Amino acid sequence: MIIQAFPSGPFETNAYVIACPQTKQAIIVDPSPDSAPLLSSYLAEHQLTPTAIWLTHSHWDHIADVVPVKAQYGIPVYVHALDAPNLENPGIDNIPFWVDIEGIKADHFLKEGDKMKVGNIVFTVIETPGHSPGGVCFSCTEEQILISGDTIFKGSIGNLSLPTGNPTLMWPSLEKLAKLPSTTRVFPGHGPSTTIGNEDWLPRAKFIFGNL
């Protein structure tokens, strides 16, 4: 599997290209502000064909370049139904932003257990609400890869003090991820990659972060 991160925008949000080396098919995850030209250049350089945009959630720093990327490639956009309204009308989640973002309707809604293909590679959707109501992660069991969005980072979790934050939902989400194999490599929405094993605090997350 090919995974390339493009930290972009004011919060260095990780947009990703994930590609199947055999088929040269690719998907784009979370096109962050100013990521579109970087994604386009990488796809062209490596002769990859994008087939979809997958969104871990719809906070503005993860969706800012969805419209230009979709316009360039004519590919469908996937998001959880609970985060779709903010994709269509950015800002209705009451999180302020200061960049130009054009809204767009999702083409497909993600839900728990959905099988998502990138060429010959299969990911499974894991619903992980808490940072946002429709937050999801993408898990590839065969290659032990997790695209975690803002659910977990290296050493931390997504901000629960935002208007969309819900601690009651976050703790069960983190418990799901704690059950993944310890060798699972985690590619988050911000910052460097890690592994589930390195984040051995996950089962105790409520006690560590519950008072934040």
For residue 210, the model assigns a pLDDT of 81
- The reported pTM is 0.96
Alpha-carbon distance 152 to 31, whole Å?
18
In eight-state DSSP terms, residue 182 is T
Structure tokens at 30: 């979370």
Q: Which percentage of the chain shows pLDDT scores above 90?
A: 94
Q: Rounded mean pLDDT of 47-57?
A: 98
Q: Taking the domains of the chain in order of start, what are their residue ranges?
A: 2-209
Confidence tier at 211 by pLDDT (50, 70, 90): low
The residue with tokens 């871990």 is 56
For residue 128, the model assigns a pLDDT of 98
**DSSP three-state, residue 112:** coil
CATH superfamily of 2-209: Ribonuclease Z/Hydroxyacylglutathione hydrolase-like (3.60.15.10)
Q: Is the pLDDT of residue 149 over 90?
A: yes
